[in-house]
Amino acid sequence: MLTILKQESFLLLALIAALVAYPLEHWLLHSGQVVALTAGLVLIAFIVAASMRVAHQAELLAEKVGDPYGTMILTLAAVLVEVVILAIMMSNEASPTLVRDTIYSAVMLDINGILGLAALMGGIKHGEQSYNDDSARSYSVMILTAMGVSMVVPEFIPEANWKIYSAFTIGAMVVLYALFLRMQVGPHSYFFSYSYPDKRRKKQPTEEKPEKVNLPLSIAILVFGVVVIGALAEVMSKTLDLGLEGTGAPPVITAILVAAISAAPEILTALRAALANRMQSVVNIAMGASLSTVILTVPVMEAMALYTGQPFQMAMTPVQTVMIFITLIVSAINLNDGETNAIEGMTHFVLFATFIMLSLLGL
């Protein structure tokens, strides 16, 4: 028991932070903007710490079951954290564009940030890195379809018909994900795996003995971690909104923070995989996280909108639409030959830098 408590010290600290934050919530919200902003940033740090432990348990489960199930567990865990934070923030009357901006930011972060940095660093160390190009094509076309249906077409839907189209979007996303899931774990699972040549595997340093997995314990810690994150997000959303009020910070900053919180563990996992010359894992994590963010977050939040009777602004702005299409076109070209290199990684990373610059400019 002591060993478990020691291993999960970050999660325990996050729990203590939640237990302290709740009684102090009223004081934090009425002690000035600086106090509120500071509290919000501190709570974000604890949320990231808790999400790292959630991701660690998901990674243990992933290692136990192997690819493609493993990366599916990792991406689902990240999306679960994101959905929990978003749902809580939206229940606190956040910006109606928060869901849209968070999904957009997550896709930019996953494809251009994670994949770009991983391919750049892996390419510098290993040169060309191989993966299964079937997986990249499958992910790309699914992301394009899901984002087109849920975040481009809504621009042309009359306001009076939003409930009908919202219900259609939920059904479309569920059908898409059901088919994708069947492909990923069924007869087409080989699309999402790659057999690395022995000569490449021998170049890697001797791997450490894998950590023994206690399945029920890992699942329990994972669920507990998500609950703690939800509790922290409840206070964090209020203090952060108050702290940023009137500062002139672009509205998308909150969305980027939410996306970064959920993606933080994936970034470390993807970079480790790239440096170990396992580019297939990077592709599965980056592209799979993007797809899961769109195809799972959209129906949950659309259902929430239907329940409350208050629609969210899901249609992307012209700048966001252009950036998404450039990103997906570049990824379709780069991920079409089964090998990545540093140049391809740099193109994605420049797009990520452009996304950050546009966000800071309020575009």
Q: Quickly list DSSP for 131-146.
A: --HHHHHHHHHHHHHH
The amino acid occupying position 111 is I
Where are the extended beta strands (E) located within 173-274?
none
> Can you tell me whether residue 339 is helix, strand or coil?
strand
Q: Name which residue leads in pLDDT, 224 or 153.
A: 153
11-38 pLDDT, tens digit per residue, is 888 889 989 988 888 888 888 888 888 8
277-320 pLDDT, tens digit per residue, is 888 888 888 888 888 889 888 898 899 889 888 888 899 999 99
CA distances from 314 to 102, 112, 149, 155, 363 (A): 10, 21, 10, 8, 16
Q: Is pLDDT of 324 > 70?
A: yes
Locate the domains of the chain by residue range.
Answer: 8-194+213-361
**Cα 55 to Cα 32: distance, rounded to the nearest angstrom:** 35
The amino acid occupying position 75 is T
> Can you tell me whether residue 14 is helix, strand or coil?
helix
**Cα 54 to Cα 261: distance, rounded to the nearest angstrom:** 12
Note the pLDDT of residue 71.
62
How, if at all, do strands 129-130 and 339-340 pair?
A: antiparallel
**Cα 313 to Cα 302: distance, rounded to the nearest angstrom:** 10
Question: What is 8-194+213-361's CATH topology?
Answer: A middle domain of Talin 1 (1.20.1420)
CA nearest to 287, candidates 146, 185, 86, 174: 146
CA nearest to 205, candidates 127, 275, 115: 275
Note the pLDDT of residue 195.
67
- Look at the pTM and tell me if it is higher than 0.75: yes
CA distances from 149 to 122, 135, 161, 291, 298 (A): 34, 21, 15, 13, 10
